[in-house]
């Protein structure tokens, strides 16, 4: 996000500098500034969406690690029969649960049980 913000600031500064010496017209300057603002807003929306998703996942993992039960596709997930795999962001059955051996539930399919 910081890199994108830096690039947009450079574009705006170059546009303003070029406009001062009348290298580009006022209309082109406005188009560049509008496009830069649009890109900045899209980047901000994307970043806020990613942050929200990360916080949601973190809350689920924290609840699981605190011993609470999650519901994944109507299956109760707890530490007694599952473990959390951080690399794949999923819950995998352990050896204690032979009826669900090999079942993997992505964290996005889970909710904290109320």
3-state secondary structure of 1: coil
Question: pLDDT averaged over the chain?
Answer: 85
User: pLDDT per residue over 73-84, tens digit each?
Assistant: 988 999 988 999
DSSP 67: T
pLDDT along the chain (114 residues), means of 10: 75 73 75 83 89 94 94 91 92 82 90 87
Query: 100 and 82 in one domain?
Result: yes
Tally of domains in the chain: 2
Q: Final residue of a domain: which of 27, 48, 66? A: 66
Q: How far apart are CA 11 and CA 60, in angstroms?
A: 41
pLDDT for 21 equals 66
Residue written as token pair 């406005």: 30
Query: 53 and 1 in one domain?
Result: yes
Query: 71 and 28 in one domain?
Result: no
pTM exceeding the 0.75 threshold for the entire prediction: no
3-state secondary structure of 96: coil
Query: 47 and 72 in one domain?
Result: no
DSSP 49: H
Q: Domain limits at 60?
A: 1-66
Query: 39 and 58 in one domain?
Result: yes
């Amino acid at each position: 996000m910081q890199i994108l913000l830096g690039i947009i600031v450079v574009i705006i500064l170059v546009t303003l500098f070029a406009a001062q010496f009348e290298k580009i017209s006022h209309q082109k300057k406005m188009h560049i500034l509008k496009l830069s603002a649009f890109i900045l807003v899209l980047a901000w929306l994307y970043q806020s969406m990613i942050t929200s998703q990360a916080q949601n996942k973190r809350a689920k993992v924290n609840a699981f690690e605190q011993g609470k039960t999650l519901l994944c596709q109507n299956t109760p997930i707890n530490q007694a029969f599952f473990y959390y795999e951080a690399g794949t962001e999923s819950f995998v059955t352990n050896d204690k649960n032979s009826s669900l051996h090999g079942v993997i539930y992505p964290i996005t399919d889970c909710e904290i049980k109320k």
